[in-house]
Structure 1
Amino acid sequence: MARARSRLSAGTVVLGCEALVRWREADQRVTAFVREAQDSNFRVVVSAVTPVEAQDIRVKSDRLRWYLSRLKIEPVTEDIASRPIELLRDARLQGRKYAIDAVVAATALRSVRPAVILASDADDMSKLCGKAVQVVPV
């Protein structure tokens, strides 16, 4: 039997903090999305700042490390570090509340296209990324 063609094609999926947490907790929807992305040759990545935000002291860090070993951790390069300021200004957002989201958005904007972000704050991510990145709420 022929395998149904995936809705995804080679590109990048960026997991925001909540998506990483839900994947670690075996959320069916997020797990299925990650599996489909990987099966479709998408790079599944997190920004280097996301694991810091996702760490829960009640959960063994070995569990988070295991999930991170299945992803590409994108460094916060000089290019990525300078972009969030512009993104925040353009989106008219400011403050610590949006800082990590802006770094994750900058990571997605520098990723191989098509780029998709799985995030709990879809409205803010859409403001930060514009139409260049598809934002999927989790």
Structure 2
Amino acid sequence: MARRRLSHEGTLVLDSEGLSRLLGDDETVVALIAEARSRGMEVVISALTIIEAVHARTNKARLNWVLSGLRAVPVGDEEAKAASALLMAAGLHGHKYAIDAAVAEAALRQQRPVVMLTSDADDMAKLCGDRIRLVSP
């Protein structure tokens, strides 16, 4: 398995697919996060990512353990307004893109460089532009 190389320091942001794969102990995602941490990167998620990734079959003990090692970025009024502005600027709208916009907004506020592990690189590129490095799981 080829390992992906990340920049030193900065932030690794997981979208719901990244969190889901981490919860499922996906070898590639676990290795990517371990490498990020070894390089001094903080690993974060949007608080809304928890809602999107968790389902009835989620192992709650595993969820709690995984979340204890991540920083969940809250989404308040100001963050929601900024996410809405990202949607408008990208020409996107509606519930299909709402959580993606919140994740993008959270990523844009993190310590640079920022790498995002996302299964939706096309939409995230529209929302983040070239300010975030996108990596597919």
Under TM normalisation by the shorter chain, which class is it?
A: over 0.9
Gaps in structure 1 of 5+ consecutive residues? 1-5
**Alignment RMSD (CA, Å):** 1.2
TM-score, normalised with respect to structure 1: 0.92
Q: 1:105 to 1:7 in 2, by over 3 A?
A: closer
Count of aligned pairs between the two proteins: 133
Give the whole-Å Cα distance in 2 for the aligned partners of 1:40 and 1:79: 31
Cross-structure match for 1:108: 107
> Deviation per CA, 1:30-74, whole angstroms, max 9, x where unpaired?
111100001111010011111111112112222111101011111
Give the whole-Å Cα distance in 2 for the aligned partners of 1:104 and 1:90: 15
Give the whole-Å Cα distance in 2 for the aligned partners of 1:7 and 1:18: 19
Gaps in structure 2 of 5+ consecutive residues? none
Confirm or deny that 1:76 pairs with 2:75.
yes
Give the whole-Å Cα distance in 1 for the aligned partners of 2:20 and 2:55: 9
Secondary structure of the residue that 2:43 maps to in structure 1? strand
Secondary structure of the residue that 2:115 maps to in structure 1? strand
> Deviation per CA, 1:64-106, whole angstroms, max 9, x where unpaired?
1110101111111443221111111111111101000000000
Question: Aligned residues: percent identity?
Answer: 45
Q: Which ranges of 4 or more aligned residues in structure 1 deviate by more than 4 Å?
A: none
Alpha-carbon offset, residue 13 of structure 1: 0.6
TM-score, normalised with respect to structure 2: 0.92
